[in-house]
A and B are shown apart, each in its own frame.
Chain A
Amino acid sequence: MTKDMDPMFPGAIARGRAATRAALTVMLAAMVALGPLAAYAAGTQIYDSKTKKWVDYDSRKARQYYARNNQAPEAFRRQVVTFRTAERPGTIIIDGNQHFLYLVQPGNQAIRYGIGVGREGFGWAGIVRVGRTAEWPTWTPPAEMVARDPNAAKWAAGMPGGPENPLGARALYLYEGDQDTIYRIHGTAEPWTIGLDVSSGCIRMINDDIIDLHSRIEVGAKVIVLMQGAALYKGV
């Protein structure tokens, strides 16, 4: 199981763009059924209703969309969806492939949030829990980032919480047993990155959404990370 620190830094978007993977060809019928936008297989795609074609949703288009609309495309906005599951209400299910985070609700429903994930997905699948949470958390760049990036170096001792802080308004710290996994679900200073594969590990949400999620969950909540990055399991 590879667990990289999330760079969580404004420069991450350029690296994410360079790493954008080619979208796979899929059957139109299945894609239409997904609604106006699908993060199908590897790349994120948007259905253009004018040209009736699926187009890649990359960081450039995301910035343009956000500049025009001041919010992410509809599929990535917070919404209540039908979600049948045996998991208890309050459980978080993260689908990095489709860039959705579900918070299970009673009555076969879930609140679905759009997320930005790591370039290589979450890198692992499994069950963790929310070990602790923080409001406007301090961000401390990992040592290797401090070493290579002067912008990070100036925050080597920790960047105070605030609108420019890459962890955003709230952070949910994911634990495996009593151990911090170093993964977090957090807000972002880059709201246009929702729906994209950026940085290298953590789950990012727009600040409004992470504040909403934070207000609804309990410390100890079960978090299920789905099998994106399943190739890691080959040969197990």
Chain B
Amino acid sequence: MKKASSFYGTAGALVLLMAATTPALGADLVIAMPNWPSGQAAANILKVAVAKEFGLEAEVQERGTLNAFVGLEDGSVDINPEVWRPNLDDLIRRYVDEKGAVVLTGRGTAAWQGLCATEAAAKLGIKDIADLSDTTKTAALDTDGDGRGEVWIGAPTWVSTGIERVRANSYGYAENVSLVEAEEDVAMAAVDAAVATDRPMVFYCYTPHHVFELHEITRLTEPAYDAAKWKIAPADDPLWVSKSSAPVAWGPAEFYIAYSTGFAQKRPAVAKFLEQVDFSTEEVTQMTYALQVERKAPLAYAEEWVKNHEARVDGWASQ
């Protein structure tokens, strides 16, 4: 929608805008599609599955998360295939709890985030977060000759990157290693190069992600999430990183399919079907790999996926 806003003011552009935000002629429903691979795969799988099971034609529209929620409320979107918690808890509170305009399915797909090591790093004994406080181990992670290892903690714009810095301070390994912020493509290429030469590397990681299909990657073990120890100051405080403390693992994350309340009333059988969809974390990782690494077209991949999981998809519709 950011792109569309620059077109305001011309009649032709308004037509374009309307075309982009209303269902195509003949479409029975609209599925919002996020701009990341797993969301693209899921949106298209739902499109293909809904056509197969209900004979309904779904239009897939690329939309940002906020726009998808607005669309679910105003009726221009019927399904949003990937809604993350706790990341989007604010939106969920507003649209699900307060307005009652959106329903989240009851079955989430588990996700996690933390630090990971290449196989070479694991062989050097870097298996637990505490190993990052051992300079004899972390020296092997040095890539710039200053004697200190480097650990990629995320892209500069990510909220998680600041929290990784908090965690590094809280655990103490910020003293031993240089915390590197760089774009994800740079970090992932660094992982590729490290693996290609059997070199150790430790980096921020999250599921679902194609890197787990691409390489042998080990998640570092660490103390379990403890809400009492997870003290993250409000991010609008410029000193929030230094005021925060989190010497434990990230809390669990999950993502859900969302659909509009109005759509559930109009198409209760489809809503019931959505409640049965049970993508596993591994499956979503495979979807990401297929689109991101194998560069399969989302719709073609979705058709292949539904064909290969026909009995399961039929089962979702017959519950």
Contacts and interface: CB of A to CB of B under 8 A. Distances in A.
A38 B120 CA distance: 14
A231 B146 contact: yes
A75 to B, nearest CB: 9
Contacts of B200: 30
Nearest to B119: A33
B79 to A, nearest CB: 27
Q: Which of B124, B144, B146, B190 has the most CB of A within 10 A?
A: B144
A226 B186 contact: yes
Contacts of B156: 236
A21 B145 contact: yes
Given A84-B214, A85-B214, A97-B143, A231 B295 contact: no
Nearest to A26: B140
B193 A125 contact: no
A83 B144 contact: no
Contacts of B189: 85, 87, 93, 224, 226
Interface in A99-131: 100, 102, 110, 121, 125-127
B148 interface: yes
B143 A100 contact: no
A86 B199 contact: no
Interface string B179-206: 1111101111110110111111000000
A86 B145 contact: no
B182 A125 contact: yes
Contact of B182 (A29, A83, A233): A233
Interface residues of A, number: 44
Contact of A230 (B123, B139, B143): B143
A101 B57 CA distance: 48
A126 B182 contact: yes
Interface size class of B (residues with CB under 8 A): 35 or more
A85 B192 contact: yes
A12 interface: no
Nearest to B291: A86
A24 B141 CA distance: 11
Contacts of A165: none
A228 B200 CA distance: 14
Given A24-B139, A34-B198, A236-B181, A97 B214 contact: no
B186 A224 contact: yes
A228 B192 contact: no
B229 interface: no
Interface in B147-193: 147-148, 150, 152, 156, 178-183, 185-190, 192-193
A101 to B, nearest CB: 10
A33 B199 CA distance: 9
A34 B143 CA distance: 15
A134 interface: no
Contacts of B185: 87, 127, 224
A21 B183 CA distance: 28
A126 B183 contact: yes
A126 B186 contact: yes
B214 A127 contact: no
Nearest to A197: B145
A233 B196 contact: no
A43 interface: yes
B302 to A, nearest CB: 20
Contacts of A33: 120, 198
A209 interface: no
Nearest to B203: A227
A225 interface: yes
Nearest to B152: A227
A227 B190 contact: yes
A227 B215 contact: no
Given A126-B186, A127-B185, A30 B179 contact: no
Contacts of B143: 41, 97, 226-228, 230
B222 interface: no
B295 A98 contact: no
B192 A83 contact: yes
B214 A121 contact: no
Interface in A124-147: 125-127
A234 interface: yes
A82 interface: yes
B194 to A, nearest CB: 9
Which 10 residue pairs are nearest across A and B when measured between Cβ atoms? Answer: A42-B145, A85-B192, A230-B150, A33-B198, A97-B143, A224-B189, A230-B180, A86-B293, A95-B193, A41-B142
17 contacts: A40-B199, A41-B145, A42-B144, A84-B192, A84-B195, A84-B214, A86-B192, A87-B185, A95-B190, A125-B182, A127-B186, A225-B186, A227-B190, A228-B144, A231-B148, A231-B150, A236-B156
Interface of B: 120, 123-124, 139-140, 142-148, 150, 152, 156, 178-183, 185-190, 192-193, 195-200, 210-211, 214-215, 292-293, 295
